[in-house]
Amino acid sequence: MTFLLLSLDFSPSEINFLDLKISKDGNGDLHTSIFRKPTDRNTILRADSFHPPWLTNNIPFGQFQRLKRICDSEEDYEKNALDMTQRFKARGYQYKTIFRAYNKAKCLPREQLLAPKQKEQQNSDQVYFVTQYSDHSNAIKQIVKSNWDILKSDSVLREALPDSPTISFRRAPTLKDKLVKSHLPPVSQKTWLSTLKGNHRCGHCNHCSNMINANYFTDVTSGHTFDINTFINCNTSYVVYRLECPCGRFYIGRTKRKLKARLAEHKHAIRTGNPQYPMAVHYKDVSHGSCDSLKISGIEHIEDSIRGGDRLKRLLQRESFWIYTLKATYYPGLNGELDFSPFLVFHPLLCHWQVMLFRSCDLLPAHTEQLSVIIYLTVN
């Protein structure tokens, strides 16, 4: 059992807030000092970290300035500066770098550090060269500066460019960036393209004439209308689709390839009379003729989950869902059977149940519909 321990620290003479300790002496005067929790770790950036040298060399000076600004007595500053020095040495900083930063901060008046700094106005005419920091950053910096005269030699650019550019670097990707990914999608500005939904023609293929431009489709059996809540066109993959012939018969299928590639197979099957395709068999039986009358509509796009997982299995599950919802195994549907296997979990016990239920179908053929419901409820 896990227990949550709560503690309360209070005092009539001092209070801690963030990294600041405010205390009151016997005369009622207030004093400030550095506060560190007992559980705090040494989180100073390592000296051998992959950062520009000027950045790591300036960290000690910045930290000693912080000590000088917070500690109101010289004795307290020296005490905390010694502790800070030990923490810098533990992170691999050279002693001369620490000592130089300590002396530089010690010479600064505390009043100057407490005074608000005036923000310098940036030169709007300055040109910035920004690139990602790497092992070759210094070489890139030298190449840009040594060849800047080539740009300055142009009579037009000479008036717009400064004498030299300001070169700055972006942070390189860390191990955290490479190994840890957020499950939340990045916030992006929405446009009319990002909110477009429905089934649409791509406008660049030979199968666009068979595509239905629509934001919804209607179940011919119940008359219920279903919205298409994702964007689908001829080039969309991992799609559950609906084929429809001129007389109203329909077929529910799925494909992990581009929708137009699957449509091309159905059209070829109709032309050749392939008995493996239910729609091709129907076209042959009723003599619909050319496959140009065949219509297709994507009804759901299975997007890749941010958590990963088996995308193909989710596609098979959604196909079974639409076959069951639209009753595609009954007239006017053309689907032959309803497959519940994508919903089954491959556990030894569950697999045993699956075998028993499907074997009993041979014993009770008249109760196949009822048995299908039992399988559906069991696996869910």
- Give the per-residue pLDDT at 364: 33
Nearest to 215 by CA among 197, 188, 190: 197
What is the tens place of the pLDDT at every residue in 199-226? 999 988 999 999 999 999 998 888 899 9
- Helix (H) and strand (E) counts in the chain: 13, 12
- Give the per-residue pLDDT at 370: 40
Interval 23-38 mean pLDDT = 88
What is the tens place of the pLDDT at every residue in 277-334? 999 999 999 988 888 899 999 999 999 887 778 999 999 999 999 999 999 999 999 9
- Give the per-residue pLDDT at 242: 95
What is the tens place of the pLDDT at every residue in 33-66? 999 888 888 889 999 888 888 888 999 999 999 9
| Dihedrals phi, psi of 164, to nearest 5 degrees | -155, 150
What is the tens place of the pLDDT at every residue in 170-191? 888 888 888 887 777 667 666 6
In this structure, the number of other CB atoms found within 10 A of the CB of residue 207 comes to: 20
What is the tens place of the pLDDT at every residue in 74-90? 888 899 999 999 999 99
DSSP one-letter string for 144-192: HHHTHHHHHTSTTHHHHS-SSPEEEEEPPP-HHHHH---SSPPP----T
Percent of the chain with pLDDT over 90: 39
Residue 146 has pLDDT above 80, yes or no: yes
Give 173's contacts (C-beta < 8 A, 6+ positions apart): none
Q: How far apart are the first and last CA of the chain?
A: 33
pLDDT-derived band of residue 114, with 50, 70 and 90 as boundaries?
confident
- Give the per-residue pLDDT at 373: 41
Show the tokens assigned to 357. 């239920």
What is the tens place of the pLDDT at every residue in 251-281? 999 999 999 999 999 999 999 999 999 999 9
Name the pTM for this structure: 0.51
- Give the per-residue pLDDT at 363: 32
* Helix (H) or strand (E) run with residue 218 in it: strand 216-218
Interval 229-236 mean pLDDT = 93
Interval 90-98 mean pLDDT = 92
